[in-house]
Each structure stands twice: as structure tokens, then as C-alpha cells.
A and B are shown apart, each in its own frame.
Chain A
Amino acid sequence: MSLLAVDVGGLTLKNPVLTASGCFGYGLEYDDFYDVAELGGICSKGLSLHPRAGNPPERICETPAGMLNAIGLANVGVEAFCKDKLPILRERGVTVVANIFASSVADFVAITERLNRETGVAAIELNVSCPNVTEGGIEFGKDARMAGEVTRAVRAATELPVWVKMSPEAGNIVAVARACEEAGADAITAINTIRGMSIDVEQSKLRLANRMGGFSGPALRPIALRIVWEIAAAVSIPVIAIGGISTTRDALEFLLAGARAVQVGTANFVDPSAAKRVLDGLREYCESKRIDVKSLIGSAR
């Protein structure tokens, strides 16, 4: 029995190290670096019903120990993903979590139904940090009722495990996580980026064309850890941690706080093999101490 396998809401992952949506392309950009099938899984670039070109530049800027991005959810669309990306990932034995987003519950369901027709999708992760255009453009994830509604609709539309990725912008994130659990979510992913800004003082100009962007990177880690801690105490479904994880030590911090698995995000930009490094370090840690990773989960609580 592997020391690293974990069960995430009915889905067994060979290890608890995944890569985060938006920070790992479609998992097909890594052939020069390592075999991504070694990972516990990869979360796809956020998929929409139709392709999206994304925001105009500037889309990114660096901040102290972090960065802001306003990519604008550029992606090939669910159809091209199913046709061009998924077959290769499936062939390679990659555990694929399809991250999806939409501006209405109906579109979330439509994307889910398209994914249902494919084999090789291990789970669906809902990005609820996007505005619900049918309800005045308020983000799904900011409101427990709306987050619950979209979770329930996707839950009813598929037999795949459903993960919901929390928006840290929610006033009461624990209430949102609970609502998603009640609506049938199999796991909670926490956290998405926090909105931030940066101004070029010399040119008196905003650094991002979109004005605001999602803040990520190591600087985010303590906030993510606090939220993971709170959610893990409040729900009985697994919590998958994300937020500034760059090293095995960072991953351990979240596991000890109660996360069942972790996602490596921005660190992939600094080192394409970041997730593999985290995994190798975790394996070494568990093997040298002869402990099952499951025994670490929540052990600091």
C-alpha cells in the first residue's frame, strides 16, 4: 500500500500533490521536464463553454513574493479540450481534474454534460469566482445560496466527483463551503486568488489593463492556511489546499492543518518541475519517517 495515496471524496489519488488550474496549462507543456502522470493529478486551465481570447495586456505584474494576474480566463473551450487535449492526457494516464467556469448555472451544467461524454476526467472543479450574469453579476462564490445552487445543479448533472474552489472574496467563506457540502460537493478547494492592484508610480499608471487582478504566490500562503484551517473544521468533506505552495515544507504545512491534498500553482512559473519537487520531497519525508501521509492530515490540529 502506497504511503502517499489519499482518498478525496471517493476518488483515490496516488499522491496528494496536484497542480492548480491556470498555472499548468493543459498539462501538455511539460514533456521536456517530467512525466505529469506521476502527480496526484492536474487541474486543467479553466474551461468555458466557448473559447476565450482573454484580456488585453498587461495581464500580469510582480508584487512582493507574489504576482497579480488578469489573464481573463483565456482558454480553448471545453470542446477543443475534449478533442485535442484530453485524449493525449488519457493516453498518458494523467489524472485530470477539469476546472470549469461559466456565467450562469445553465452553462456550468452544459460544460459538465459535455465532459460527461468523455472518459478520462477524474473530477470536475468548479471555479465559482466568476460573476453570475443572471443574478446581477455577483460572483457565485461570494454568496452561499448561489454557490450551493451551482454545486447542486452540477452535482445532479454528473456522476463525477465535484470539487468547488472557494473564492476568498466571500464574506463568510465557511458558510459558502458548508452550503457547497450540503449541495453535494465531494471536496472543497481553497483558495482561489485574492483580488489586488498595483500602480506604476513613475508613470502614474495601473500595472494591469484590467485594473485588478488575482493575487497569488508565496505571500498568499498564511491567508490560505488560515482559510483551509477554518474550512477543514467546518465541513466533513475533504479540503484541497492551494495558496502559495512552492516546497514540500509548504505542502506539509497545509496537510498538517487538515488538507487532504494540495495544489501547486504560481510556483510552476518559477520552476516547471515545482510540483514534482514537492512530490519527491513528500515521498522522501514519508519514506524516511515510515509514515503514511494520511496520518499527517490534520495532525497539527
Chain B
Amino acid sequence: MSTRVLAKRRLVTLTLLRRESIGGLYHVLTFEDPDGSVALPGQFTMVRGAEWGDAPLLPRPMSYLSGGNTPSILIKVIGEGTVRMGRAEPGEPFTLLGPLGQPWRAPQPGRRVVLVAGGVGVAPLLFLARRLAQSGAPKPIAVYGGRSARDLPLDDELAELAELHTATEDGSRGTRGRVTDVLGELLAADQDVFTCGPDRMMAKVAELCAARDVPCEASLETPMACGYGVCLGCPVPTTDGAYVYACTQGPCIDARRVDWSRGDHAPKKGVHAPKGKS
């Protein structure tokens, strides 16, 4: 997939158009981009307040929730960066570097698309679902899980674009249990799975898919400093004993290439990771 010709990356200063608080720790930030972002579903951007000064120092990797003239991101307020983003007011300037990384590959013809999302991991999958709807593709299945009903941001939008199944650990919404319990029930050989969420969830999704020989594409989550291939801070172990760098060889990657067993690269609180978790 690395042979795809990707759009030129730009660092632009964009104005925050609006910040929607969508319950719990979640917010959608929408920016105004007069030139238009050519981001594809699955790609990400490094986001930083233009007036943050020297701290927090690093931009935050965030999957695009949408592109075009109003690119948006979904954030969960966890660390220093997202606390600031969660308080940002319209008109505030942000720098966005992007589009970065490998987008989702095209779904395989003849297979039903299944989107498996955990929490803020829904962002790149919603972007994909919207693209699929625009292209007239059959409605995908979506399996969306979180700790509780509060941890399913943008579930209403996903319900419009996909046949939605939900799971919460406390049973406050949908099936009581994990997203992978639901997936295990409905996964069929003629499907094509796209997943984004916590590492432990994606590892289990990858395992289920591999066992049933279903193709599975995962969007990787790791801390990153630069997002464009020079800091080498985002290695993810692969099954061949090497590393891929999530920023340039990912974030979207064939789940079978990832060595999930070595995954101590799960996101940790206070360490910023893609998909809006810092």
C-alpha cells in the first residue's frame, strides 16, 4: 500500500471554527481551511495550538474525522494538550501538519465492510463510513464499544451510516461486554474488517479475523513527536521481528503484520497518542 501517491503535506495555521462538546470527555474540533484539506480516511494530522508557546511542546497526532474546507478531529480530554483543545474557543489559531500517514486501503470488492471501533478510535472509521456512503457502497456493519454509554462519542452519526451494534462494559448501552464479543458473533468469511481503538481491542479483533481468514486493517496508536518520519519515536513491532513506524508506514496497516503480543505500545495516560487521546 505504500506505493500509493499521497498528497503533499503542509503545515498550516487554521482558525478553529467551532468546538462541540459532545458529552463526557469528548469534543469535536472543526477548523476552517480555505485551501481545503485533501486528507483521506485513515490519515492523521499533527495538531497544536499556535499560541501554546513552549509547552506543551509537541503537536498531537489526531485522525481526521473529516477533510475538505472544514477538517475536523475528535478529541478525548486526557492530557495537557487535549485539556487545552477541550477549552479552545472559536477563532483560536491552531497549526495542523498533514495529511500524514497511510490511509485506509480500499475495501476488497465483494466483501461486506465491518468497522470495529473503540472510543475515540471511531474518528477514522466514521470518515471511512462517510466516504463509503458517498460512493454508493453497500452500508457497512459497525461494531462500537466503550466502557459505558458515555464512551461512544458520535454513535448517532455512525448509526446513520452503518448497521450499528454497540457494546459497553457496564451494559449501559447495547450488549454488556466487549466489542470483540459482538464481533465474534457476527464475523463472517466474506467480510472485510477495519478497526481502530485501544491496542488490546485491536489485538483481539486481529486474532478473530486471522482465525477466520478475514482481511483486517488496523489503525495504529503510538506516541509520536514529529508525525512525518524523522523522530523514530513511533515503532510498532511486526511479526517479522522488525518495526514499522506508525507515522509513515501506518497508521493504517494490515493487522496481520503487527506483532500484537509484543504490544507494550498501548497508549498510556499522559502520553499522547493518535486518534485524539492526549
B226 touches A268 (CB 8 A): yes
Which of A32, A64, A271 is within 8 Å of B55, CB to CB? Answer: A64
CB distance from B46 to the nearest CB of A (A): 9
B57 touches A53 (CB 8 A): no
Report B-chain residues with C-beta under 8 Å of the C-beta of A218. 54, 57
What 0/1 readout, one digit per residue, does chain A (35-72) give for beta carbons within 8 Å of chain B? 00000000000000000011011111110111101010
Kindly state the separation between the CA atoms of A53 and B229 in the bound complex, as whole angstroms: 14
B56 touches A62 (CB 8 A): yes
Q: Check A25 for interface membership: any CB of B closer than 8 A.
A: yes
Kindly state the separation between the CA atoms of A30 and B227 in the bound complex, as whole angstroms: 12
Q: Check B215 for interface membership: any CB of A closer than 8 A.
A: no
Which stretch in B84-92, B120-128, B133-141, B234-242 binds the other chain? B234-242
Name the residue in B8, B54, B97, B269 with the highest tally of chain A Cβ atoms < 10 Å from its Cβ.
B54
Name the residue in B55, B58, B232, B265 with the highest tally of chain A Cβ atoms < 10 Å from its Cβ.
B232
Report B-chain residues with C-beta under 8 Å of the C-beta of A61. 223, 271
CB distance from B84 to the nearest CB of A (A): 13
Which of A53, A203, A217, A219 is within 8 Å of B242, CB to CB? Answer: A53
Q: Which of B200-250 contact A (CB under 8 A)?
A: 222-226, 228-237, 242-243
B11 touches A203 (CB 8 A): no
Report B-chain residues with C-beta under 8 Å of the C-beta of A67. 57-58, 225
Q: Check B59 for interface membership: any CB of A closer than 8 A.
A: yes
In the complex, the number of residue pairs spanning A and B with C-beta atoms less than 8 Å apart equals 113
A57 touches B58 (CB 8 A): no
What 0/1 readout, one digit per residue, does chain A (197-238) give for beta carbons within 8 Å of chain B? 000101101010100000001110000000000000000000
Which of A58, A65, A71 is within 8 Å of B232, CB to CB? Answer: A71
Kindly state the separation between the CA atoms of A162 and B58 in the bound complex, as whole angstroms: 33
Return the 9 tightest CB-CB contacts between A and B, nearest first: A60-B233, A25-B230, A269-B226, A65-B54, A269-B225, A218-B54, A57-B265, A65-B55, A32-B9
Interface residues of A (CB under 8 A from B): 23-25, 29, 32-33, 53-54, 56-62, 64-67, 69, 71, 74, 200, 202-203, 205, 207, 209, 217-219, 246, 266, 268-273
**Known interface pairs A57-B235, A71-B233, A200-B271; 15 further A-B residue pairs with C-beta atoms within 8 A, sorted by A's residue number:** A29-B230, A56-B237, A56-B262, A57-B237, A58-B222, A59-B232, A59-B234, A67-B57, A203-B269, A207-B268, A217-B57, A246-B54, A266-B57, A271-B95, A272-B226
